[in-house]
Amino acid sequence: MQMRFLFFTFIYSSCAQQLLFPNDFKFGVATSSYQIEGGWNASGKGENIWDHMTHNNPKSIQDKSNGDIACDSYHLWKTDVQLLKNLGVHFYRFSLSWSRLLPNGLNNRINYDGVHYYNNLIDELLKYNIEPVVTLYHWDLPQGIQNIGGWPNIATADYFMDYAKVAFDLFGDRVKTWITFNEPIEICVSGYGGGDKAPRIIYPGISDYLCGKTILIAHAKVYHLYNNYYRAKQRGKIGITIDTAWNEPNDNTTLSKEASELSLQMQFGWWAHPIFSKNGDYPNVMKERIANISKLQNFKTSRLPNLINHEINYIKGTADFVGVNHYSTVLTSYQPLPKTIPVSFYNDLCVKSEVDPKWKPSAATWVKDVPWGLRKLLNWIKNEYSNPVTYVTENGYPDLGELNDVGRINYLQGYLKELLLAVVVDKCNVAAYTVWSLLDNMEWAEGYKLKFGLYNVNFSDPTRKRTAKSSVEFYKNIIKSRMIPFDNAEVYIL
Ligand SMILES: *[C@@H]1O[C@H](CO)[C@@H](O)[C@H](O)[C@H]1NC(C)=O
Ligand SMILES: *[C@@H]1O[C@H](CO)[C@@H](O)[C@H](O)[C@H]1NC(C)=O
Ligand SMILES: *[C@@H]1O[C@H](CO)[C@@H](O)[C@H](O)[C@H]1NC(C)=O
Ligand SMILES: *[C@@H]1O[C@H](CO)[C@@H](O)[C@H](O)[C@H]1NC(C)=O
Q: What is the pLDDT of residues 469-489, one digit of tens each?
A: 999 999 999 999 999 876 666
Say whether pLDDT at 1 is over 90: no
Mean pLDDT, the chain, as a whole number? 96
Query: What's this model's pTM, rounded to 2 decimal places?
Result: 0.96
C-alpha to C-alpha distance for 436 and 440, rounded to whole angstroms: 9
Determine the pLDDT at residue 492: 78
Give me the torsion for CA of 354, 360, 363, 366, rounded to 10°: -20
CA of 252 to the centre of ligand 2 (A): 6
- Active-site residue 354, yes or no? no
Task: List C-alpha distances in Å: 418 to 104, 226, 373.
Answer: 44, 34, 8
Determine the pLDDT at residue 491: 76
Residue with CA at minimum distance from ligand 1 atom 9: 41
Q: What is the mean pLDDT of residues 197-203?
A: 98
pLDDT tens string 243-302: 999 999 999 999 999 999 999 999 999 999 999 999 999 999 999 999 999 999 999 999
Instruction: Please work out whether the CB of residue 285 comes within 6 Å of at least one atom of ligand 3.
Output: yes
CA of 111 to the centre of ligand 1 (A): 17
Q: Which residues line ligand 2 (CB under 6 A)?
A: 251-252
CA of 41 to the centre of ligand 1 (A): 6
CA of 459 to the centre of ligand 4 (A): 8
C-alpha to C-alpha distance for 87 and 174, rounded to whole angstroms: 22
C-alpha to C-alpha distance for 128 and 3, rounded to whole angstroms: 48
Which pLDDT band holds residue 3 (cuts at 50, 70, 90)? Answer: very low
- Ramachandran class of 88: left when φ > 0, alpha when ψ lies in -120 to 50, beta otherwise: left
C-alpha to C-alpha distance for 465 and 394, rounded to whole angstroms: 24
Say whether pLDDT at 55 is over 50: yes
Task: List C-alpha distances in Å: 39 to 74, 221, 349, 403.
Answer: 6, 30, 39, 27
Per annotation, catalytic residue among 261, 394, 418, 443: 394
Residue with CA at minimum distance from ligand 1 atom 10: 41
The CA-based diameter of the chain, rounded to the nearest angstrom, is 66
Domains of the chain (ranges; CATH) run 23-492 (3.20.20.80)
- Active-site residue 394, yes or no? yes
CA of 494 to the centre of ligand 2 (A): 13
Determine the pLDDT at residue 4: 43
Per annotation, catalytic residue among 37, 124, 131, 183: 183
Collapse the DSSP code of 248 into the 3-class scheme (helix H, G, I; strand E, B; otherwise coil) and give the result: strand
- What percentage of the chain exceeds 70 in pLDDT? 96
Instruction: Please work out whether the CB of residue 291 comes within 6 Å of at least one atom of ligand 3.
Output: no
Determine the pLDDT at residue 489: 62
pLDDT tens string 119-171: 999 999 999 999 999 999 999 999 999 999 999 999 999 999 999 999 999 99
Q: Is the Cβ–Cβ distance between 29 and 468 less than 8 Å?
A: no
Determine the pLDDT at residue 472: 98
Ligand 4 binding pocket mutation candidate from 403, 451, 460 (most atoms within 8 A of CB): 460
Determine the pLDDT at residue 494: 77
Q: Which residues line ligand 4 (CB under 6 A)?
A: 458, 460-461
Q: What is the mean pLDDT of residues 405-416?
A: 98
Instruction: Please work out whether the CB of residue 289 comes within 6 Å of at least one atom of ligand 3.
Output: yes
pLDDT tens string 352-399: 999 999 999 999 999 999 999 999 999 999 999 999 999 999 999 999
Ligand 1 binding pocket mutation candidate from 37, 41, 54 (most atoms within 8 A of CB): 41
Say whether pLDDT at 10 is over 60: no
Residue with CA at minimum distance from ligand 4 atom 11: 458
Q: Which residues line ligand 1 (CB under 6 A)?
A: 41, 68
Ligand 3 binding pocket mutation candidate from 255, 264, 270, 288 (most atoms within 8 A of CB): 288
Q: Which long-range contacts (CB under 8 A, 24 or more apart) does 359-364 make?
A: 359/329, 360/407, 360/410, 360/411, 362/397, 362/398, 362/399, 362/407, 362/411, 363/398, 363/399, 363/400, 363/449, 363/450, 363/451, 364/398, 364/446, 364/450
- What percentage of the chain exceeds 90 in pLDDT? 94
Determine the pLDDT at residue 17: 58
CA of 424 to the centre of ligand 2 (A): 25
CA of 347 to the centre of ligand 1 (A): 43
Collapse the DSSP code of 251 into the 3-class scheme (helix H, G, I; strand E, B; otherwise coil) and give the result: coil
